[in-house]
Amino acid sequence: MQTIIHGDCLKYLRTLPDQSVSLILTDPPYGLGIAKKGQIGSGKRFTPKRWDVLPPREVFAEMRRVSRHQVIWGGNYFTHYLPPSRCWLVWYKKDGLPKNSFADCELAWTSFNRNAAVFNCRWSGFVKDSREPRVAHPTQKALEVMKWCVAEFSQPEDSILDPFLGSGTTAVAAKLLLRRFTGIEIDREYVAIAHKRLAEAA
Ligand SMILES: C[S@@+](CC[C@H](N)C(=O)[O-])C[C@H]1O[C@@H](n2cnc3c(N)ncnc32)[C@H](O)[C@@H]1O
């Protein structure tokens, strides 16, 4: 069962009991203002938006209160909100691609006491390993990355929550791997995209 809610995640998180979710798997805004530009390196255009500001500290405290474990992409932007972790994840995006102005990798902070791990998935401009089409969201994650996280860090009966759902990549990964899932997204346009992707995922 996968549920997508249109709303502010902080309001939703405040309603949840302690440790009521197995895993938070999410990709919050990094605070880089990237969505304001309406365009990314590959030339694809998006509706300019103002959502890419750093979420407040309380969101991170609430995410840690309501869930037993967390995997938070962009963790390197949130170290002032999070404790030290042994188990950082690296999504290595280049894998032989020429250098460009994008970062070679993305980092996720996790709450797990396990070895740090690297996942290779090329994702740069027009070149990507993912077969998923790019949708109208400037920071769409590779589906393979989110599937890897779901498979590695949850069990089939677990409940997964993504408070910053965006275009719904985490929802699709959860559906394909038969996990219970709830996603929250504040922007109506992205909610519609996420619903469509989820309905088409098989
Ligand atoms: C980095 S994007 C997530 C992208 C997503 N991983 C994907 O693959 O499409 C962060 C998302 O959080 C949403 N957002 C920002 N503040 C929010 C809030 N307070 N509650 C819910 N969603 C929020 C933004 O609209 C944006 O779509």
Averaged pLDDT, groups of 10, the chain, 202 residues long: 96 98 97 80 76 95 98 97 98 79 91 97 72 78 96 96 97 96 97 96 89
pLDDT of residue 42: 60
Q: Which of 154, 86, 132, 175 is nearest to 75 (CA)?
A: 86
22 lines ligand 1 (CB under 6 A): no
Between strands 105-110 and 67-73, the pairing is antiparallel
91 lines ligand 1 (CB under 6 A): no
Q: Hey, whose CA ends up nearest to atom 2 of ligand 1?
A: 166
Residue where the block lists tokens 């769409």: 140
pLDDT of residue 120: 92
C-alpha pair distances (Å), 19 with each of 41, 160, 181, 200:
40, 12, 15, 31
pLDDT of residue 138: 86
Domain ranges, ordered by start, for the chain: 2-200
| Dihedral sign (CA 144, 155, 110, 197) | positive
Q: Which of 142, 145, 163 is nearest to 153 (CA)?
A: 145
141 Cα to the center of ligand 1, angstroms: 11
pLDDT of residue 46: 80
| Dihedral sign (CA 160, 164, 168, 170) | negative
Query: What would be the CATH architecture of the domain defined by 2-200?
Result: 3-Layer(aba) Sandwich (3.40)
Which stretch of DSSP H or E encloses residue 160?
strand 159-162
- The secondary structure of 20-87 as a DSSP string is -EEEEEE----SS-GGGSSB-TT--B----S--SPPPHHHHHHHHHHEEEEEEETGGG-TTTS---S-
164 lines ligand 1 (CB under 6 A): yes
* CA atoms of 70 and 189, how far apart (whole Å): 26
170 Cα to the center of ligand 1, angstroms: 11
The ligand 1 atom at the shortest distance from the C-alpha of residue 193 is 9
Which stretch of DSSP H or E encloses residue 11?
helix 9-14
pLDDT of residue 14: 98
Q: Ligand 1 pocket check: which of 186, 189, 191 to mutate, most ligand atoms within 8 Å of Cβ? A: 186
pLDDT of residue 11: 98
The ligand 1 atom at the shortest distance from the C-alpha of residue 163 is 21
Say whether 7 sits in a helix, a strand or coil: coil
Decide if 34 contacts 44 (C-beta within 8 A): no
138 lines ligand 1 (CB under 6 A): no
* CA atoms of 28 and 77, how far apart (whole Å): 10
The ligand 1 atom at the shortest distance from the C-alpha of residue 167 is 9
One-letter amino acid for residue 106 of the chain: E
